[in-house]
Structure 1
């Protein structure tokens, strides 16, 4: 993985967070990243974790993508596309506007 240069300021860009949970497969993260690339959405941050499911012992994946939607993106259309994509791959997914976290 290569870290890119610092991004320029994009005041019209919209930050969103996508959450994904599913049974682990090695190609899931790649497929999700490709979805965002195909829709001109910039990936800002990715956090993922795997764990063993308590009932089955199978490996599960939780991933959180922080993304930036370009100005002019039809948000409802992109959300529908993302959820249809996730359903086709049998992923539990949600995409919502990014909200700053209050300091603890």
Structure 2
């Protein structure tokens, strides 16, 4: 049986997500399984949150290598302390018209800060690409603080100065210290 050429290439992808107690992170095990299956690790995120570690990985390979990896993951998923899920996905659409911007917000912690910020971008059809937030205690005063770093994709037709002004006005009204700058890399 002839397989379509797209399936024979390396554009087959498997998204893998795990949650484990922090000292038992399966990072080494998963990277070995990905390589042993003949796949490449295209993207990965590792994050320790509370007492647990989350791994998010994107493996890429030929259809048979992805199938081999799925079998290996099924065996690994039998570990009681490991929560593992995976599914096939496709290559990300190239959106060359999105401008990457970094948003940073710092404020005295209170419920709903992130909701208001994400709502603002959602209303403007701006995609959140990455988000990292945390609570911490200020060393100088002991106050509970909130901090977020958000990478967004702004459609090129949006007027940047107006968007920035509207965002900073929102932040001023919510008593948030914020910046919105282009990603420079």
Please report the TM-score for the alignment, with normalisation by the length of structure 1. Answer: 0.86
* Whole-Å separation in 1 of the counterparts to 2:107 and 2:172: 11
Residue 44 (structure 1) aligned to one of 126, 129, 137 = 129
* Whole-Å separation in 2 of the counterparts to 1:26 and 1:57: 18
Q: Residue 176 of structure 2 corresponds to which residue in structure 1?
A: 91
* Whole-Å separation in 1 of the counterparts to 2:173 and 2:102: 20
Q: Name the stretch that deviates more: 25-34 or 55-64.
A: 55-64
After superposition, where does 1:7-86 map in structure 2 within 5 Å?
A: 7-86=92-171
Q: Give the number of the structure whose alpha-carbon radius of gyration is greater.
A: 2
Q: Deviations over 1:53-102 (max 9, x none)?
A: 223322101100100001211000000000000000000000000122xx
* Whole-Å separation in 2 of the counterparts to 1:69 and 1:61: 24
Report runs of 4+ in structure 1 exceeding 6 Å deviation: none
CA root-mean-square deviation: 1.4
* Whole-Å separation in 2 of the counterparts to 1:20 and 1:32: 9
| Structure number with higher helix proportion | 2
Gaps of 5+ in 1: none
Q: Deviations over 1:25-62 (max 9, x none)?
A: 12101111001001111100101121112233221011
| Structure number with higher strand proportion | 2
Please report the TM-score for the alignment, with normalisation by the length of structure 2. Answer: 0.49
Q: Greater RCO between the two (CA within 8 Å, min separation 6)?
A: 1
Gaps of 5+ in 2: 1-88
